[in-house]
Amino acid sequence: MSSGRSAIAGIGATEFSKQSGRSELRLAAEAVLAALDDAGLAPGDVDGLVTYSQDANQEIAVARETGIGDLTFFSRVEYGGGAACGTVAHAAMAVATGAASAVVCYRAFNERSGRRFGQPNAGLTGEPGSRGLEMSWHVPFGLMTPAAWVAMFARRYMHVYNARSEDFGRVAVAMRRHAATNPAAWFHGRPITLEDHQASRWIVEPLHLLDCCQESDGAVALLVTSAERARDLRRSPALITAAAQGSSSSQMMMTSYYRDDMTGLPEISVVGRQLWQMSGLTPKDIQTAILYDHFTPFVLAQLEELGFCGRGEAPDFLKDGGIELDGHLPVNPHGGQLGEAYIHGMNGIAEAVRQIRGTAANQLTGITNVLVTAGTGVPTSGLILSRD
């Protein structure tokens, strides 16, 4: 999708917690209303809603709960965290084509006090569709969780590029350092050291506990409308310069083990090529990147696939604070999903908007273009947001 015609004009979030006790519908409604208030709009001004296929809240339920009236556009995006930037892409296309004038994208999670996300589920193999067939190759043998699936990738990456657990740990240290100075983050005031990372218990070797994102309750919503309209609203807009979705050859759900090379994330490369082509920008034009950090090894692969460094070079790219606030490419100034909250990547898009506006807790200087990625290891999506 091409750009300049749409913008994110409002962002809203609930307080992130480990155990809110509130229903996912209540969380979604709070975030949607906060995004509308941020933009200075009323529920009746919204005529479109976009969410994830996995979100428990139907669009019509959210519309009823918030007082939104008639809907002319609604959509759901597949593939878990890979949907994050895709929701914005769908909303922007709806606005650009006239299908809707103002679209809210939302994601609500009650994954800590409700059903814990990412737990083993042997029932996956009993599904009659293609996913059940795919999972039947490894779930019966104990390969049942996202952490285990990513550990397979991580071990191969370490073997091919002589990477070490400490290289993954530097991602965790950077994210927690950023979260420590972000009052909205769950881990506010709680940085870690590389020694803390190495001492944390194993989840699935070579992944330590601190290589894995947290489980959070909360919700995030984003209001998308035309750039022209956004300029007249309460907050300065974040222009959608490029938005893309993509999957790659032999793509599977977090378990693409049958490719000739399993040390990269080619679906991110597909998305990256589209973003660079649509925007006319290059990695050198990006001042900060919001990378989907559900597990630390995939941050290294994203840096490589997007062209910020070459294949196998990410460990060196990370050294000496390379992705910290004063590094050559600050990554996730809010602390990411490892440090702020795990809201399936939507909180990262909100952070990109704040960086563009100049209102972030860890505000960087000279921000004109921010790259955002969604879930990796699955069919995924990405955005480039820019200052007006």
Annotated catalytic residue: which of 79, 106, 157, 342?
342
**Strand, coil or helix: what is 308?**
coil
> Any bridge partners for residue 102, and if so which?
225
* SS3 sequence of 138-197: CHHHCCCCHHHHHHHHHHHHHHHHCCCHHHHHHHHHHHHHHHHCCCCCCCCCCCCCHHHH
> DSSP string of 201-261?
PEEETTEEGGGB----EEEEEEEEEEHHHHTTSSS--EEEEEEEEE--TT--SS--TTSS-
- Give the whole-angstrom CA distance, residue 97 versus residue 103: 12
Q: Residue 227 is encoded by which pair of tokens? A: 């750039």
Beta carbons of 186 and 216 less than 8 angstroms apart = yes
- Give the whole-angstrom CA distance, residue 87 versus residue 255: 24
| Residue 58 phi, psi (nearest 5) | -65, 150
Beta carbons of 222 and 238 less than 8 angstroms apart = no
* Tally of CB atoms within 10 A around 316: 12
**Strand, coil or helix: what is 365?**
coil
Strand 217-226, strand 102-110: pairing:
antiparallel
265 DSSP 8-state letter: -
- Give the whole-angstrom CA distance, residue 100 versus residue 109: 26
* Burial category of 272 from C-beta neighbours within 10 Å (exposed 0-12, middle 13-18, buried 19 and up): buried
Burial letters for 241-266: b for 16+ Cβ neighbours within 10 Å, e otherwise?
bbbbbbbbeebbbbbbeeeeebbbbb
* Tally of CB atoms within 10 A around 139: 21
Answer yes or no: 52 catalytic: no
Half-sphere exposure of residue 261: CA atoms within 13 angstroms, side-chain side: 12
Answer yes or no: 258 catalytic: no
**Strand, coil or helix: what is 275?**
helix
Which residues participate in catalysis according to the annotation? 292, 342
